[in-house]
């Protein structure tokens, strides 16, 4: 399944905070694409609840995130590389 992970690290605009999230996502996904600065598509066998728990491990209590399954009803203005990645998996 493909999940969308979107987040805002409130008050943590330093690179190390974003790198911790980036590393966790890369290590736990089968494949991934990063369409926007704080947004990822991940190819995974784990559901949103598991990914939410993983986000808790690398973020603080004032950070926010949203995780959902991606289906075929979608629109957007993304790079062709991201669209190719997404279309190959859904």
The answer to whether 32 and 42 have CB atoms below 8 angstroms apart is: yes
Q: Which residue ranges make up each domain of the chain?
A: 2-87
pLDDT at 62: 87
Helix H or strand E encompassing 16 = helix 15-28
**pLDDT tens series, the chain, 90 aa:** 999 999 998 865 678 888 999 999 999 999 999 999 899 999 999 999 999 999 999 998 889 999 999 999 999 999 999 999 999 998
Per-residue DSSP letter, 35: E
Residues 6+ apart with CB under 8 A from 71: 90
Count CB atoms within 10 A of the CB of residue 84.
12
CATH of domain 2-87: 3.30.70.240
Question: Can you give the pLDDT at residue 90?
Answer: 86
The pLDDT value given to residue 13: 67
Tell me if 14 sits within 8 A of 29, measured CB to CB: no
């Amino acid at each position: 399944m493909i999940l969308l992970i979107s987040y805002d690290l409130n008050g943590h605009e330093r690179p190390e905070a974003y790198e911790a999230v980036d590393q966790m996502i890369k290590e736990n996904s089968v494949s991934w694409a990063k369409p926007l600065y704080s947004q990822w598509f991940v190819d995974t066998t784990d559901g949103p609840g598991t990914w939410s728990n993983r986000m808790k491990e690398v973020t603080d209590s004032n950070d926010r995130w949203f995780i959902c399954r991606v289906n075929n009803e979608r629109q957007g203005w993304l790079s062709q590389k991201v669209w190719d990645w997404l279309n190959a998996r859904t």
